[in-house]
Amino acid sequence: MYDISELKRCISDLYEKHRGNNQGDVASYIPELGKADPDLFGISLVTVDGQEFSVGDYQHEFTIQSIIKPIAFLLALEMHGRDKTLAHVGVEPSGDAFNSVELNPRTRLPYNPMVNAGDISVASLIKGASPEAGVSALLDRLGIAAGRDLRIDEHVRDSEATTGSRNRAIAYLLHNFGVIDDGIDHTLHQYFSQCSVLVNCRDLAMIAATIANIGENPATGREAFALTYVRDAMAAMFSCGMYDYSGEWAYRVGVPAKSGVAGGLMAVINRQLGIAVFSPRLDERGNSVRGIAVCTDLAEEFGLHAFEFMNPGSNFLRDAPPTEAAG
Ligand code: GLN
């Protein structure tokens, strides 16, 4: 486990280092998101043994947006298993923008669950018997992961629903190829609602730490996600979570992560900690500029990259009893 006081010092330093970075723009294609204060900036971390630390605007609420995608994928896997879920969405990076109106031409499925097409397909799988049931089932599980009750920002949901022609086009494309069923409006309601859950930076770090802790919230001990499928979500985040920056991210930072267009970014250090950054200014791919900068520096300083020789690996391996020397 990392030294928490060192981590706290580093987070505070990174906050000071990057707060003057004003590159990027707030997302405005969803009109409600365009109203965000671009200067907001928060960083949070939660360890799998329940220690936490936050700086800046970590209590400010914003909509989770695409960071819901690995969670929705987890719920689909729990409800339907791998075979059925993977009959509706692939796990291949697309290399294209998150909102591309496209399917993988080889499979005629969405490339992966981390882009809009994939998450709309997943939303269809988890939408439940009624619009209310599907959304409240998702809120229940996300609330267990965050450790508090969460709610939808209806202004953002309505704003996105009334301007979401691109996502509607994706849904009709999916329907045309038999990927989603006839309940297109129900699916889109689920999708727009999922994106509009209000969280703060600390919630995101707790959700990331819950994933790092194989599905169990480290503060409450409650199980949010079935441990069998947590690896599926981490793998999809690792290869596809940062859209068309995913390859660069895997190379430079090397941890499962997911970003959202409201400026949130969560990163999972497997069996160790959850990290979240909130800063609404985005780069041209839709990722938080400061979020990428903070995670890149933090991973470098602490050797967080999954394949870094300094990475101490999981507690499980380090705590294993020593094996008898051979010979
Ligand atoms: N709700 C957003 C959309 O559908 C989610 C995209 C994102 O966060 N990248 O466009």
Q: The tokens 């709610």 sit on which residue?
A: 151
Tell me whether residue 311 is in a domain. no
The rounded Å distance from CA 3 to ligand 1 centre is 35
pLDDT of res. 324: 52
For the segment 207-224, what is each residue's pLDDT rounded down to a tens digit? 999 999 999 999 999 999
Question: Atom 10 in ligand 1: which residue has the minimum CA distance?
Answer: 99
Tell me whether residue 206 is in a domain. yes
pLDDT of res. 313: 62
For the segment 221-269, what is each residue's pLDDT rounded down to a tens digit? 999 999 999 999 999 999 999 999 999 999 999 999 999 999 999 999 9
Ligand 1 pocket, CB under 6 A: 65-66, 98-99, 116, 160, 167, 195, 260-261, 286
Tell me whether residue 272 is in a domain. yes
Catalytic residue among 55, 69, 94, 245: 69
CATH number of the domain enclosing 232: 3.40.710.10
Tell me whether residue 315 is in a domain. no
Bridge partners, residue 216, by sequence: 223
Tell me whether residue 308 is in a domain. no
Sorted by sequence, the CB contacts under 8 Å of residue 129 that are 6+ apart come out as none
**Domains contained in the chain, number:** 1
Tell me whether residue 71 is in a domain. yes
- The torsion region of residue 102 among left (phi > 0), alpha (psi -120 to 50) and beta comes to beta
pLDDT of res. 254: 97
Residue 4's alpha-carbon distances to 111, 205, 272, in angstroms, are: 38, 15, 11
Q: Which is the closest atom of ligand 1 to the Cα of 65?
A: 8
Instruction: Identify whether 2 is a catalytic site residue.
Output: no
Q: Give kind and range of the element (H or E) at residue 186.
A: helix 184-195
What tokens appear for 63 in the block?
């909509």
Tell me whether residue 323 is in a domain. no
Q: What residue numbers bound the domain in which 205 lies?
A: 4-302
Q: Which is the closest atom of ligand 1 to the Cα of 160?
A: 1
Tell me whether residue 10 is in a domain. yes
**For range 71-100, the mean pLDDT:** 97
pLDDT of res. 3: 78
For the segment 177-200, what is each residue's pLDDT rounded down to a tens digit? 999 999 999 999 999 999 999 999
Instruction: Tell me the pTM.
Output: 0.94
For the segment 273-284, what is each residue's pLDDT rounded down to a tens digit? 999 999 999 999
Could you tell me the sign of the dihedral formed by the alpha carbons of 208, 152, 128, 182, in that order? negative
The rounded Å distance from CA 292 to ligand 1 centre is 18
Tell whether the model's pLDDT for residue 315 goes beyond 80.
no
The rounded Å distance from CA 262 to ligand 1 centre is 8
Q: Which is the closest atom of ligand 1 to the Cα of 195?
A: 1
Closest to 67 measured CA to CA, from 273, 288, 271, 232: 288
Q: The tokens 């790092």 sit on which residue?
A: 212
For the segment 3-39, what is each residue's pLDDT rounded down to a tens digit? 788 999 999 999 999 999 999 999 999 999 999 999 9
Instruction: Identify whether 127 is a catalytic site residue.
Output: no
Instruction: Identify whether 229 is a catalytic site residue.
Output: no
Instruction: Identify whether 246 is a catalytic site residue.
Output: no
pLDDT of res. 326: 45
Instruction: Identify whether 277 is a catalytic site residue.
Output: no
Kindly report the backbone phi and psi dihedral angles of residue 274, in degrees, each rounded to the nearest multiple of 5, phi listed first: -115, 140
Tell whether the model's pLDDT for residue 77 goes beyond 80.
yes
Spatial separation of the C-alpha atoms in residues 309 and 30, rounded to whole Å: 42
